[in-house]
Amino acid sequence: MKVGLEIHAQLDTKKLFCNCNTELMDNPTKNIERKLHVTVSELEEIDRAAFEESLKNKKHVYEAFDNSCLVYLDEEPPHNPNKEAIETSLKIVLLLKADIVDQIHFMRKIVIDGSNVSGFQRTTIIGLNGVIETKYGNVKIQTICLEEDAARKDREKKDKIFWKVDRLGTPLIELATAPTIRTPEQGKEVALFIGNILKATKKLKRGIGTIRQDLNISIEKGARIEIKGVQELNMIPVYIKEEVERQENLLKIKGELQKRNANIGDIYDLTDLFKDTQCKIIKKAEKVLVLKLENFSGILGMEIQKERRFGSELADYARKYVPGIFHSDELPNYGISEDEKNRVLEKLKSDSFVIVTSTNEKAENALKEIIKRIEIAFQGIPEETRRPLENGATSYSRPLPGKARMYPETDVPPYNISQQTIEKIKKELPEMPKKKKTRLMKEYNLNEENTTKIMIYDPDFFEEIMEKYDIKPTIFLKVAETYKSFGCENLEELEIVYDYLSRDRLVKEGIETVLEEFSKGNKDIDKIIEKYNLKPISVMNAEETIKRIVQENRNTIEKKGDRAVSALMGECMKALRGKVDGKIVNEILLREIRKI
Amino acid sequence: MKRVKVRKGDNVYEGIEIPSVDEKYLVLKLDNGYNIAFRRNEIKVDIIGEFEKKSKKIEKKEARYRKELRDVSIIGTGGTIASKIDYTTGAVYPAFSPEELEKMVPEIFELANIYPREVLQILSENMNIEKWKRVGNAVIEEINKDRSIVIAHGTDTMHYTASFLSFTLKNLSLPVVLTGSQRSSDRPSSDSRMNLFCSVKFATTDYNKVVICMHGTMEDTFCYVHKGVKVRKNHTSRRDAFQSVNTKPVAKVYYNGEIEFFEDMPAKHEKRAYFDDKIEEKIFLLKVFPNIAHEILDFLIDQKYRGIVLEGTGLGHTPSILYNTIKRGIDEGVTFCMTSQCINGRVNMNVYQTGRKLMELGVIPCKDMLPEVCYTKMMHVLGHARESDEIRKLMRTNIAGEIIEDTVIL
Ligand SMILES: [Zn+2]
């Protein structure tokens, strides 16, 4: 098994080649429609992925905002590279003990899926040959690149793809390890280690999707597979294990197909056969095309990965044209009867088949893709880019791109990195994660498990909260992790919760409710506490006592108004001393007085 | 180029050494496509072999002539519209053989029979009269073979060339379309493809004048066709930099090939087309500005400039400090023409004292003519006329569409 890791992380600076902000925005105000063309290069062959994209002949609609500038609409040459982004990259290179280039040369890397308005991504190598130490041995970091993030795909409509340009040009750090990761667990450790180093720069964007991991996995006799966009570190070992299993099973299928002398037959139009079918999908379809397969029985339904069968791989390939397929190993099902299945088998004089329904043209194209995939199964495993699924399995997204065409970005002059710059950055280097972890353990008396969690989450934020509020590290973790489980990471919102907890304004049991409401967009914590009754009992009791005292002193209050607080405070404290904090008593008292 | 091994400390890097602008650095193209650079005095370099570029031979194809299509000659002058990139060094060079053009823009071969002809290989800022003459003569040779013309031109001075050709190409029977690109043709998003497509499409019409055809908006949906004497580059970088001034464009050409005309087709010429090469070279284009000194004008007169286009302020004014020098020039036979640096609108020298004074001195008000157009028109007019009355009459008479008597609300 060979595994390499590629990590992309967004930097929290201005855009790489202009001065625009990199915040994501809603409500674009301008639409700009463009077409991209592939220029056939003399030097290199059009790479497979690029060619497949160009075949689609799509129009791209770029959604811009009132303050979008011309650079990232490809209407103006790039400005000078963002200094902060370059210096942050240099920090990372130094932390990884890598070799720094003396002069930065930006390149144009052709990307024609539309995600870059210009049709290329600007990218450069800042450092090479870094190294990280793991318990399973050293792993080499081959390259550390600084590049532009792509536009966000918004939606697709017929022949048009809509992209938001707010993210385009956000500086991205890309680190690629050598394919020397030997175990699934090591994969996770490497990702964790690199993630911590990146975070230590404090220049990383926060939030979901700001760090993306790609896994490159291959096994002996198998193929190189890239799993793109893994976000959950804990899932890395699972994806690796599942992919190894998938490849092993596909190799088994290859052997079985050859042994059985399996065969791909012709395509039949069996629309009439399904005239009276109960299957809703077939009923709606214009055409029912069936691909005859010989000696595939049991193979189509063979599980190759968690909840994925060989048939699922075929369905992935057909997806460009149809939403799904039926194969004989899963029938009868979906309203297709035993009788219908048998009639098809009889008609084909075979043991297996694949059904595709749609218009004639789409169904035919889908079957062509399926045939292409089955033909590969006789040879082995196709090189692919795959999409991670939640359960640890993956689905096909496109052929593995060949080496992208790359050439110098002549609009950006080479950028010299002087010895002075490096000396200056060396002085600003943050504490290395390993050192930091040891210090946190000691300083806050933490166990190994919790320290690791804090390191993954955000050690700087942790220290900031510990300094400001009187709460336990375990509570810090509980709040942060709960909010993350709702898909949120807003630190200001978290801080409100820490504040309330530390001042005894919210019971620990209420953490989850408050955060759930936050995640739904209800951000008024007082209202939430009121609604769900999440106050500590002591506070509730205090409220009753204060209400009583206020009622008894209506006359004083009517005379003095707010100033009655000082008059009544003494009486309240006498009743509540030792039970509730004076500040809270003061607040409640004022509130109750104002009600009168 | 050489394949080299570079040692820096403990690390060794292998790749192709590519030319570096700064000699202090060695630039290395790694096998992964990236360029990296190191200071030469900190590395050790070993040559390990020659780098041979695998240049694929382009197959010569027999051009398939289609009788039902018009013939269009594409004249190359340089610029980025028809250029290829050397992916190793990033250097751009023209690609003008029919085979190369067909590879880059196959769709134009469906619109017309295409005849590429490379006349110049220059950046358009280096355009000059001698080069204009070569272009003008080449256009006539091609027109006389019954071919429409598309001129691929750098965008910087394209409107000067368009205007020059508008005055000097006589009896045109077919369209002469200038086009270029604002985004280099190596990038997938380049505007060159649509510009070339729409230009060739427009060249197959009967609009027998010199025009510029470029992107109409920032989008890849249509091009505008502008009269060669009523157009200007009004933006440094946008695709829709070229705009008609004081008038509507001639037509819209959509990327699907449809054409929408905003005016009638011009009259046909029965006589043979020719290039009028009688040109006066000593013409100057002078922008007037606060604090301008008269010595500069004295110098131009001393240098025997025969015509000076003033790009005046507002309705057509100069500071009074220039009056005496202008008078001296006119006395010595220099022609002064007035245009406005406002670009939009027309000069009117009756409204203020200054304008009236300048007219009294003999400065010719040039109506709604663009300064650049006035400049090329003067080259042409002074190439023919000597008498000041005749010059005045010609400068104020519409020759190629450069004067529109009433500016309409657009
Ligand atoms: Zn910007």
B36, B103, B183: residue with CB nearest A74:
B183
Q: How far is A61 from chain B (nearest CA, A)?
A: 9
Calculate how far, in angstroms, residue A488's C-alpha sits from the geometric centre of ligand 1.
28
* Known active-site residue B80: yes
Residues 6+ apart with CB under 8 A from B64: none
Domain boundary among A482, A514, A532: A532
The answer to whether B315 and B344 are in contact (CB under 8 A) is no
Residue B68 pLDDT more than 70?
yes
Domain boundary among A481, A510, A532: A532
Nearest CA in chain B to A402: B32
Both A468 and A365 in a single domain?
no
CB atoms A129 and B89 under 8 Å: no
Query: What distance, in Å, lies between the first and last C-alpha atoms of chain A?
Result: 75
- A43, A45, A47: best to mutate for the B interface, most B CBs within 10 A: A43
Q: How far is B136 from chain A (nearest CA, A)?
A: 31
CB atoms B87 and A406 under 8 Å: yes
Both A58 and A187 in a single domain?
yes
ipTM of predicted assembly, 2 dp: 0.93
- B182, B189, B190, B219: best to mutate for the A interface, most A CBs within 10 A: B189
CB atoms B85 and A143 under 8 Å: no
Q: What is the Cα–Cα distance from B254 to B56, expressed in whole angstroms?
A: 35
The pLDDT tens digits for B260-272 are 999 999 998 889 9
Both A34 and A119 in a single domain?
yes
Tell whether A38 is within 8 A of chain B (Cβ).
yes
The answer to whether A310 and A277 are in contact (CB under 8 A) is no
Both A527 and A553 in a single domain?
no
CB atoms B188 and A406 under 8 Å: no
Domain that holds residue A568: 539-595
Count of pairs with CB atoms under 8 A, one residue in A, one in B: 127
Tell whether A64 is within 8 A of chain B (Cβ).
no
- Cα dihedral value B214, B217, B220, B222, nearest 10: -60
Q: What is the pTM of this model?
A: 0.83
Tokens 């990038």 sit at which residue? B187
Q: Measured between beta carbons, which residues in chain A are less than 8 angstroms from residue B85?
A: 407
CB atoms A414 and B37 under 8 Å: yes
Task: Indicate the number of domains in chain A.
Answer: 4
Calculate how far, in angstroms, residue A153's C-alpha sits from the geometric centre of ligand 1.
19
| Backbone φ, ψ for residue B243 (5° rounding) | -135, 145
In chain B, DSSP finds a helix count (H) and a strand count (E) of 9, 23
Average pLDDT, chain B: 93
Both A573 and A522 in a single domain?
no
Q: Would you report the helix, strand and coil content of chain B in percent, each value rounded to 5?
A: 25, 25, 45
B25, B36, B85: residue with CB nearest A407:
B85
CB atoms A414 and B55 under 8 Å: no
Q: What is the Cα–Cα distance from A569 to B320, expressed in whole angstroms?
A: 84
Q: CA-CA distances (angstroms) from residue A590 to A215, A433, A537, A564, A566? A: 59, 47, 20, 9, 10
Q: What is the Cα–Cα distance from B211 to B230, expressed in whole angstroms?
A: 9
Tell whether A436 is within 8 A of chain B (Cβ).
no
Beta-carbon count within 10 A of A226 CB? 20
* Residue A418 belongs to a domain: no
pLDDT score for A43:
37
Domain boundary among A513, A532, A551: A532
* Known active-site residue B44: no
* Residue A230 belongs to a domain: no
CA-closest candidate to residue A239, choices A385, A136, A389: A389
* Residue A560 belongs to a domain: yes
Q: What is the Cα–Cα distance from B111 to A399, expressed in whole angstroms?
A: 35
Q: How far is A107 from chain B (nearest CA, A)?
A: 7
pLDDT score for A535:
84
* Residue A251 belongs to a domain: no
Residue B248 pLDDT more than 50?
yes
pLDDT in tens, chain A (596 residues): 899 999 999 999 999 999 999 999 988 999 999 998 876 553 344 555 555 555 557 899 999 998 899 999 999 999 999 999 999 999 999 999 999 999 999 999 988 889 999 999 999 999 999 999 888 889 999 999 999 999 999 999 988 999 999 999 999 999 999 999 989 999 999 998 899 889 889 899 987 778 899 999 999 999 999 999 998 888 999 999 999 999 999 999 999 999 999 999 999 999 999 999 999 999 999 999 999 999 999 999 999 999 999 999 999 999 989 999 999 999 999 999 999 999 999 999 999 999 999 998 999 999 999 999 999 999 999 999 999 999 999 999 988 877 778 899 999 999 999 999 999 999 999 888 888 899 999 999 999 999 988 988 888 899 999 999 989 999 999 999 999 888 887 888 999 999 999 888 888 888 999 999 998 888 899 999 988 888 887 888 888 888 888 888 888 888 888 888 888 888 888 888 777 778 888 888 888 888 87
CB atoms A75 and B221 under 8 Å: no
CB atoms A408 and B25 under 8 Å: no
CB atoms A102 and B103 under 8 Å: no
Nearest CA in chain A to B13: A128
Query: What distance, in Å, lies between the first and last C-alpha atoms of chain B?
Result: 57
Calculate how far, in angstroms, residue A575's C-alpha sits from the geometric centre of ligand 1.
62
* Residue A327 belongs to a domain: yes
In the set B29, B71, B77, B155, the catalytic residue is B155
Residues 103-122 of A with CB under 8 A from B: 103-105, 107-110, 112, 117-120
Residue B57 pLDDT more than 80?
no
The pLDDT tens digits for B271-305 are 999 999 999 999 999 999 999 999 999 999 999 99
Domains and CATH numbers, chain B: 2-50 (2.30.30.520), 70-275 (3.40.50.1170), 283-395 (3.40.50.40)
* Residue A422 belongs to a domain: no
In the set B156, B186, B220, B240, the catalytic residue is B156
Both A43 and A109 in a single domain?
yes
| A395 strand-pairing partners | A387
Tokens 């009600």 sit at which residue? A595
Both A490 and A349 in a single domain?
no
B88, B186, B219: residue with CB nearest A34:
B219
Both A520 and A553 in a single domain?
no
Both A52 and A191 in a single domain?
yes
* Residue A426 belongs to a domain: no
Among positive and negative, which fits the CA dihedral B292, B296, B298, B304?
negative
pLDDT score for B62:
66
* Residue A234 belongs to a domain: no
* Known active-site residue B233: yes
pLDDT score for B63:
67
In the set B29, B227, B230, B233, the catalytic residue is B233
pLDDT score for A47:
53
* Known active-site residue B156: yes
The pLDDT tens digits for B104-125 are 788 899 999 999 999 998 889 9
**For chain B, what's the residue count?**
410
Both A23 and A146 in a single domain?
yes
CB atoms A119 and B239 under 8 Å: no
Angle at A113 between CA A112 and CA A116, to 5 degrees: 70
Both A523 and A543 in a single domain?
no
Strand intervals (E) in B96-160: 113-118, 148-152
Both A376 and A496 in a single domain?
no
CATH number at residue A297: 3.30.1360.30
